Amino acid sequence: MKNQQSNPFILALTAHNLTVEIHKHSAYQIVLTNDAPFTSTINGQLCKNIYGFLIKPQVTHLCVAEKGTLNVFNIEPYSTIGLELANRFAADQDYIVFHSENEMEAFFQTGTNRFDIDTLITALVSQLPATQYDERVTKMVDYIRTNFFERDINPQTFADIVFLSPSRLASLFKEQTGSSLSKYLLWTRIRQAVYLTLSDKDKSLTDIAYDTGFYDLPQLNKYMYEMFGMPPKALKHNSDLIQVY
């Protein structure tokens, strides 16, 4: 067994000059300013001069921060950290808006008014119980991190590596992370695709899709839109990347 914190299934990035049209997606999302307040419309409600928000999956929203820098966190809803965030909403709440740095600090318990990517992820993960990961789960995580670009990965691939049946391995992984091996693989591929989309704007989206394990660009478009509410083309042209976690 291996001592480590629960895997958070997070795609996080810092972007400048970010403008996103109205959309919705399957991930929980946290958006926090690094400097100037920004404007957003959430569920049809205009929110001016805010410092951040947290929204549930499938909540429509748009975001405009033409003069500022935003930290954006997308979180798998069925991961341990997604389930923890779900418990922070009241029964009739779909989103939470932060009108000051003090509100953000109190909500996320950062202990500081700094809201960079590493600080917030540390605060989020600190709310989770420490997990004793089975070595077979750790082995699968390591395998995905180094082989995510292989397009022939399937449940039997994983089962053969750790000598468990696909159903038993799937059950073990879900029990320890809250989500599935296939979702972990998908998030890993999309994290890399987002990084390449924003950091290498001369690289074609078709090549990015192929290099990150997708069969073609339409498949990457499908999963990006489902999980984050926009295709990679929109992300490529609507923000300037500073950092991807």
Residue 70 neighbours by CB under 8 Å, 6+ apart: 14, 15, 16, 18, 31, 32, 33, 34, 38, 63
Reported as a single tens digit per residue, the pLDDT across 151-178 is: 999 999 999 999 999 999 999 999 888 8
User: What does the alpha-carbon distance between residue 97 and residue 54 come to, in Å, rounded to a whole number?
Assistant: 7
- Cα of first residue to Cα of last residue in the chain, in angstroms, is 27
**Does the pLDDT of residue 4 top 70, yes or no?**
no
Q: What are phi and psi of 111, to 5 degrees?
A: 75, 10
Residue length of the chain: 245
pTM: 0.87
Report the DSSP pairing between strands 240-244 and 45-50: unpaired
Instruction: Output the average pLDDT for the chain.
Output: 87
**Helix-strand-coil split of the chain, %, nearest 5:** 40, 25, 30
Element (H or E) spanning 158, and its range?
helix 155-162
Which CATH code, of 3.40.50.300, 3.40.50.1100, 2.60.120.10, 2.40.50.100, is assigned to 2-126? Answer: 2.60.120.10
CATH of the domain spanning 132-229: 1.10.10.60
Q: Which pLDDT score, from 0 to 100, does residue 241 have?
A: 59
Domain boundaries, the chain: 2-126, 132-229
Reported as a single tens digit per residue, the pLDDT across 45-79 is: 999 999 999 999 999 998 887 777 888 899 999 88
Q: Which pLDDT score, from 0 to 100, does residue 1 have?
A: 35
